[in-house]
Amino acid sequence: MHFKIGPYDRDLPLTIDPTLDVIKFLGGTGNDRITAVLGSLVAGVTDSDNLSIYGPRHGGTDVFVWDGQNYLLYGGSGDEEPTAIAFAGNTPILVGWTSSRDFPVLAPPGRSWQRVFGGGNTDGFIIVGLGIASTSSISYLGGSGDDRILAVAGDP
């Protein structure tokens, strides 16, 4: 490593103090790719079998979420890919697409979430709250065609 130093007062001590907040290699022994980042949340797609201690990969490629300490996996027997993260207040929302007909759906009572795959090759998904104890809902979003959610907007 080297630094290019511009003009400075040579009568004063020179301090070079770069700040590095976090450096970490993310991934396992398979193919892993980051597709969405917001703050300390990192989401991506994986086919690694050794990525999470909180459960095995489900098949195809799965969604991983890293919160700075832990990996969480979401997926079904097909392929999934997260595309965007946003916050609604303090609650993270992750969106993407899945080809799994058995993607895990978590629909609280009284909510009208889409509980079944709509059709086509892919449906969008929405995960509200990301965490071992804080995931509050997971839903498909799609019709009879090929559907993908590519963006999500949170609170300003």
For the stretch 81-138, pLDDT in tens is 999 999 998 889 999 999 999 999 988 777 778 999 999 999 999 999 877 667 789 9
How many whole angstroms separate alpha carbon 30 and alpha carbon 127? 24
pTM: 0.79
How many whole angstroms separate alpha carbon 97 and alpha carbon 121? 10
Mean pLDDT of the chain: 86
> What number is the average pLDDT over the span 63-92?
91
Q: Which two tokens stand for residue 38?
A: 């917001």
